[in-house]
Amino acid sequence: MASYTITHCTVADSAELSANNIPAFWQDPHWILAWKHRTLEHQIGQVTKRFPRNLLNERTIKRHQKALDPETGRIVGYARWYLPDASATNADGTFAWPEAVVPAVTPEEEAEFRRIASTVIWDPNNESEETPDRVEETKKEILARKPYMRA
């Protein structure tokens, strides 16, 4: 059985994370409903442009990890965690679980990542009864009941 290396993500991982994650999402029935008018290749390209911004968003509460194949060094898994607000920082104001925090970039780099993300074609199909918005609303409803560490 293979053992994997688990480590934090950086914005430089964006293309490989997209190439790893989007084919997996392509198997999810809700994802398919939302993107039936787009190709897998299109979505990988668009998500690659969004990933750096998404990795940098909400650094106080979000943590990101990747699993690496020890033989190839390739990304084979990804997890995004949302810490409850009360658990996201230590008493001294530093990040809790700092080894899973995406390293900061310069303000200029972050502005460029945000500019690139703003060019993405993000147009999910909302014609189905099980739209991504309804799934997201249900998720928020459940998560509002008590604090969770979410994946």
Along the 151 residues of the chain, how does pLDDT read in single tens digits? Answer: 679 999 999 999 999 999 999 999 999 887 888 888 999 999 999 999 999 999 999 999 999 999 999 999 999 999 999 999 899 999 999 999 999 999 999 999 999 999 999 999 999 887 765 556 677 787 788 877 877 665 5
Would 149 be classed as within a structural domain? Answer: no
Pinpoint the alpha helices (H) of 7-81. Answer: 14-25, 29-35, 40-56
128/58 Cα distance (integer angstroms): 30
Strand intervals (E) in the chain:
5-8, 62-68, 75-82
In-domain check, residue 13: yes
This prediction's pTM: 0.83
How many separate domains does the chain show? Answer: 1
- Is residue 76 included in any domain, yes or no? yes
Domain that holds residue 89: 5-143
Query: Within a 10 A sphere around the Cβ of 52, how many other Cβ atoms?
Result: 25
Residue 150 counted as domain residue: no
Residue 66 within a domain: yes
